[in-house]
Amino acid sequence: MKQKAVFLDKDGTLIKDIPFNVNPQLITLSGNCVEGLKHLQEAGYLLVIVSNQAGVAYGYFTEAELLPVKTKLCELLMKHGINLSGFYYCPHHPEGITEKYTSVCKCRKPAPGLLFKAAKELNIDLSRSWMIGDILNDVEAGERAGCRTILIDNGNETEWLLNAYRIPEKQCATINQAATYLLSTHEQKLERI
């Protein structure tokens, strides 16, 4: 049987946003996320990061420098008994300076490629899954992949360019609020079916 998952944007959603940061010592979890993540995990959701990492294409850091970032995130979450099931990132950007990564790809959000890759590798049912992020590119990636979506409205979305894929099911201030909505609204409906 396929798994259900919550896909999480990294910078600005799961952790405090420091542009192009790969220094593990500067990584801290966003406020009001731990309890929500615990409840999602207890409800059987895999927790999977999907993140654009254009700093690789821009030459600010290498893909190898993202490994300590993943390790730090896993450590921070494990301190609270939370298991990260996957860490997927896109190193591309069409305006990058590192030739290998300068391209229009299918994995850079708002494209859904990272979610499709995770779904294939982790046996995830996208129709039972959610995407939570802090900008509408996250929402669009989730919608295009067939997930339900929640926007963490913390001020990081500044353009508000809307189309049919960029309208989240719900807007919340924190991951804790998003988890409460997700679990109370949809898990109860699934139990009645």
Active site residues: 9, 11
Return the closest-CA partner of residue 130 out of 147, 145, 105.
147
3-state helix, strand, coil in the chain (%, to 5): 35, 20, 45
The pair phi, psi for residue 50, each rounded to 5°, is -130, 120
Please report, for residues 28, 71, 140, 146, the alpha-carbon distance to residue 83 in angstroms, rounded to integers and kept in the order given: 16, 12, 26, 24
Helix axes 136-145, 113-122, angle to 10 degrees: 50
